[in-house]
Amino acid sequence: MKHSFEVKLAAVNHYLAGHGGIISTAKLFQLSHTSLSHWINLFLLHGPRALDCRHRRSYSPEDKLCVVLYALGHSESLPRVAARFNIPSHNTVKNWIK
């Protein structure tokens, strides 16, 4: 399900303001806690504009290789790697590694 920029930002701000944990904030905004966690990472790494995904992105082979090498060489989770490189889904990174 797609969520608007406004909903994403409101949920992230609610959590970061300390008004609730990941689970309770996700329930309040009717989101999955994994989506909220990803949005929080995106926001902290890249700012609020990272939450505004309006178009499908394409990545060059060089960009993909850079992300894959980073993922394999560091002990970060795939959702964290995706957030670091501003990739909307950790499944994209997972598919590149395969």
* Domain positions in the chain: 5-51, 61-97
Q: Which of 80, 93, 96, 13 is nearest to 42 (CA)?
A: 80
CA dihedral 33, 37, 40, 42 (to 10 degrees): -130
What global pTM score does this model have? 0.72
**What pLDDT digit, counting tens, does each position of 81-94 carry?**
999 998 888 999 99
Q: pLDDT at position 91, please? A: 94
Q: If you compute the radius of gyration of the chain from its CA atoms, what whole number of angstroms results?
A: 14
Q: pLDDT at position 56, please? A: 66
Q: Which CATH class is domain 5-51?
A: mainly alpha
Look up tokens 């905004």; give the residue: 29
Query: Could you give phi then psi for residue 57, rounded to 5 degrees?
Result: -100, 150
